[in-house]
Amino acid sequence: MSKGDHLFTDHISHDHHGIDCGDGTVIHFSSKRGGEIVRISKSQFSEGKKIHLKRYQKKFSPNAIVERAKSQLGSNKYNLITNNCEHFCYYCTTGEHTSYQVNNAGAAGAAGAAGAAGAAFGLAALTTEVSAGGIMGLLGATTTVALIPPVGVAVGAAIAAGAPGVAAHQVLKKIDNQDGSL
């Protein structure tokens, strides 16, 4: 881990995100301080959990990332849906204000609903054959597509087993995991 890295810790139903200042401290939204952006030690940030690194193809320089994070110290505009710890870290790192956990909540619901139906009836991923696109389709070629993708069945099976939020979060995290464990 180094200065400007986007760090996160894995919790049962969500991930918690922060920016590594490069000096043993992390800037993050603190639930203990009423949703205020604070700077704390890395060990306080991790709370004994494994720290992971979010990787990016394009990001600001480490100094710029830390300066962006420092500029928000003391802010207390936390909102789970529109301004959470992940939004903060993506903003500091790339300038983009987004949260994949929030964005994927809808995907989890859709995949889970389709998968729960499949799991309830003991189905695996459902597929069908359709005409291929382009010139191959004109020549009569076909391709197979998933009506209920395997992820939907996996999320749905977990929902049917009684762990909707946790299961959806963990399955989607595995699919869209661009982090490196440290």
pLDDT of residue 102: 81
Instruction: Report angle CA 176, 52, 112 to the nearest 5 degrees.
Output: 30
pLDDT of residue 34: 83
- C-beta neighbour count of 3 within 10 angstroms: 14
pLDDT of residue 182: 38
Last residue of a domain, one of 73, 98, 123: 98
Looking at the fold, whether 12 and 73 belong to one and the same domain comes out as yes
Domain tally for the chain? Answer: 2
In terms of Cβ atoms closer than 10 Å to its own Cβ (0-12, 13-18, 19+), residue 29 is: buried
User: Is residue 147 domain-resident?
Assistant: yes
Phi, psi of 82 (to 5 degrees): -110, -15
Length of the chain: 182
Boundaries of domain holding 78: 6-98
User: Is residue 110 domain-resident?
Assistant: yes
Give the burial string for 41-62 (b: 16+ CB within 10 Å, else e): ebeebeeeeebbbbeeeebbeb
Token pair for 181: 């464990």
Judge whether 147 and 109 are in contact, CB under 8 Å. Answer: no
Looking at the fold, whether 15 and 72 belong to one and the same domain comes out as yes
Token pair for 89: 């870290």
Token pair for 174: 């595995």
Looking at the fold, whether 93 and 172 belong to one and the same domain comes out as no
Looking at the fold, whether 109 and 94 belong to one and the same domain comes out as no
Looking at the fold, whether 14 and 86 belong to one and the same domain comes out as yes
Q: Is 35 left (phi over 0), alpha (psi -120 to 50) or beta?
A: left
Query: Which are the contacts of 75, defined by CB distance < 8 A and separation ≥ 6?
Result: 36, 37
Last residue of a domain, one of 98, 126, 152: 98
Instruction: Report angle CA 16, 18, 19 to the nearest 5 degrees.
Output: 160
**CATH number of the domain that 15 lies in?**
3.90.1720.10
User: Is residue 1 domain-resident?
Assistant: no
Looking at the fold, whether 118 and 93 belong to one and the same domain comes out as no
User: pLDDT tens track of the chain, all 182 residues?
Assistant: 899 999 999 888 788 999 999 999 999 998 888 889 999 999 999 999 999 999 988 999 999 999 999 999 999 998 888 889 999 999 999 999 888 888 777 555 555 555 555 555 554 555 566 665 556 556 666 666 555 555 555 555 555 555 555 555 555 555 444 544 43
